[in-house]
Amino acid sequence: MDDFDFLPDELRHGNIHLPEIGFGVFPPTSASASLTSIPNPFVNQHSRRNLLGLCQNLNKMSISDEERSIFTGSHPFLGSPTSKNLHGIRLGGSFLEASSHRQALTQSSSGEVSDNSHRLRLLAREDYPKPLPNRFTENKDCLLEQQKRRHIIDFREIRGNRIFQPLSGGSRKCMKEGEALSLSPDLVSVLGIYGSVYMAAKEQMGCRFLQKKLMEEGSFVDVMFIFRGLVNHLIELGVDQFGNFLVQKLIQVCDEQQRTEIVIMLTSKPGLLVTISLHNYGTRVVQKLIETVRTKTQINLVKAALKPGLLSLVTATNGNHVVLSCLKFLAPEDNKFVLEGATRFCATIATHEHGCCVLQHCVQYSDGAERENLVAEIARNSLHLAQDPFGNYVVQCIIEQNLGGVNVMFELRGNYVKLAKQKFSSHVVEKCLIHYPESRSQIVHELVSDSNFERLLQDPFANYVIQSALSKTKGNVRARLMDKVRTFGNLSMNPYCKKIFFKHRRHLRK
C-alpha cells in the first residue's frame, strides 16, 4: 500500500463508494440522481504540495499521459473554458458546450452546475475528438524531416550564383540559379548509417553505392554533396583500398572548376603527387587525373608536380604507368618534360626493367627535335645497351623504326662478332640485318673474317645471325658467306648447324 499513500484516507480505507460508470455508457437516471459533485480525489488535497510525487507514482502504475492528465485536472477536454492545459494553451468552451445536454450527470445536490475545474467530468464517446496520432510514426516523420532539412543544398552558397551545367551525359538537367533541393532518400539513409560521405567512401559497400550515385542515377544535388564531402579527404582516400575507386569516378564526372580544385589539393605540397603516384592505389587516381585534365592551369600544375620525381616514377612499378599516361593523354608540347628527362637519364632508364618500356613509348610518342635528341642519345649508348637484358629492347625499337641508323651502325661497327655470340645482343645484330640494308656487307665481312668461324656456326646464338645473313643478303655478299659455310660441311649434323645446312642445302651443294 506504500504506492497509494498519497490517496485520501477515505479511499485508502474503502469508506467511499464510487458507482461504476463507463465512457460512452450512461447509467440509469437513478444512478445519475445519486451521483453528486464528486471532488477529484487526486487533487485539492493536502497532498497538492506533493504534485511531483503524484506524477512519479502514476509512472509506477504505468498510467499514460492522457489518463494522468485526467487525474491531475489538466486534460485538454476537461475543466472550464478559461482553464489551461499542461502546455499553457488556453482552452475554449466549444467542446464543453457540445456536452451541455449531459450536465445532469455533473450537477450537485443543489442542482447547480459546478464550475470547479478540478471536478471529474464524464464524456460520451462522440464528444471525444479524433484519436491521437501514433506518436512513434509522428516522431519518426519529424526526425526524417529534420534530417532532410539538414542536407538541403543552396547552390548560391556553393558557387556564388553560378548556373551549373550537367556533369556527365544528357540525362541530368541544368540547375536553375538559387535553386535549393534536398538529397535523394537513399543517400540520406546511407549517410545516416555511415555518418558522412567520407566514412562511407572507406567502406566497400558504401563506396560502391556512392560510385553508383556518381555514374548512373545520382542527381546533380547528390553529386555536388558527394564532392563536398570528399574534397577535403582526397589525399587519404586516393590511397585507400576502396576510396581510390570513388575518387577516380569523382574526377571523371566533375566539371573543370571542380577538377582544378582536385588538382590543387593533390599538388598542394612538393612531392605529394609523386608519392601518391608511387602508391599501389594512388597511381590509379593520378592516371585518371592525367587522362581527364584539359585546361592549361591543370596541366601546368600536374607537370610541375611530376617533373622533380620523374626518374623515380619511370623506374617504379606503379609510377611508370603515370609517365605512360602522360605520354598517351597529354599533347606533345606538354610531354616535353618527360622527353627531356628521358634523354637526360637515357642509359639509366633504358637498362631498367620498367624504364626500358617507358623509353620505347617515349620514342613512339615523340616527334620533331625531341625525338631526334632522344634517338641520338640511345644510338650513342647502343653498344652498351645492346648487351643489356633490358636495354637491347630499346635499341631494337629504334632500329625497327629505321631511326638513327647511321649512328647505331657507327657504334656497333667492329663488334658484330662479339655481339653475335651473346644472347641479348644477337637479336640486335639480326635487326640490323633486317632493317639496315647498308649494314649487311659490314656484318658479313666481320663474320667471315673471324678466324673461328666454325665456332660461330656451332654457337647457340651466333648460328641465328648467320641464318638471317643468308636469308637477307644478295649477290656477292651472300656468295661470300655461302662459300665460307660450305667449307664446314662436316658440321651439318651438329644440332646448331643443322638448320643452316638443311635450309640452304640446294645452294650449298653447288
- Amino acid 507: pLDDT: 57
Specify whether the CB–CB gap between 378 and 396 falls below 8 A: no
> Containing H/E element for 420?
helix 416-420
- Amino acid 186: pLDDT: 87
- Amino acid 266: pLDDT: 96
- Amino acid 412: pLDDT: 94
Model-wide pTM > 0.95: no
What is the rounded distance in angstroms from the CA atom of residue 508 to the CA atom of residue 498?
13
- Amino acid 169: pLDDT: 39
**Residue keyed to cell 622527353:** 339
Sequence length of the chain is 510
What is the rounded distance in angstroms from the CA atom of residue 250 to the CA atom of residue 227?
7
Instruction: Give the E-state strand segments of 291-404 in sequence order.
Output: none
Buried b (16+ CB within 10 A) or exposed e, 349-361: bbbbebbbbbbbb
- Amino acid 510: pLDDT: 52
For each of the chain's 510 residues, which pLDDT tens digit applies? 444 454 445 444 545 444 444 444 444 444 444 444 444 444 444 444 455 565 565 555 555 555 545 444 444 444 444 444 444 444 444 434 434 444 444 444 444 444 443 333 444 444 444 444 444 344 445 544 554 454 444 433 444 333 334 344 333 434 444 444 578 888 888 888 898 999 999 999 999 999 998 887 667 888 889 999 999 999 999 999 999 999 999 999 999 999 999 999 999 999 999 999 999 999 999 999 999 999 999 999 999 999 999 999 999 999 999 999 999 999 999 999 999 999 999 999 999 999 999 999 999 999 999 999 999 999 999 999 999 999 999 999 999 999 988 899 999 999 999 999 999 999 999 999 999 999 999 999 999 999 899 899 899 999 999 999 998 998 899 889 988 888 887 777 777 777 777 776 655 555
Tell me the sheet residues that pair with 84.
Answer: 90
Cα separation of the two ends of the chain: 133
Other C-beta atoms within 10 Å of 86: how many?
Answer: 12
- Amino acid 297: pLDDT: 95
Which cell numbers in the block locate residue 489?
660441311
- Amino acid 63: pLDDT: 53
Tell me the sheet residues that pair with 156.
Answer: none
What is the rounded distance in angstroms from the CA atom of residue 412 to the CA atom of residue 386?
9
Residue 119 phi, psi dihedral angles, 5° rounding: -80, 150
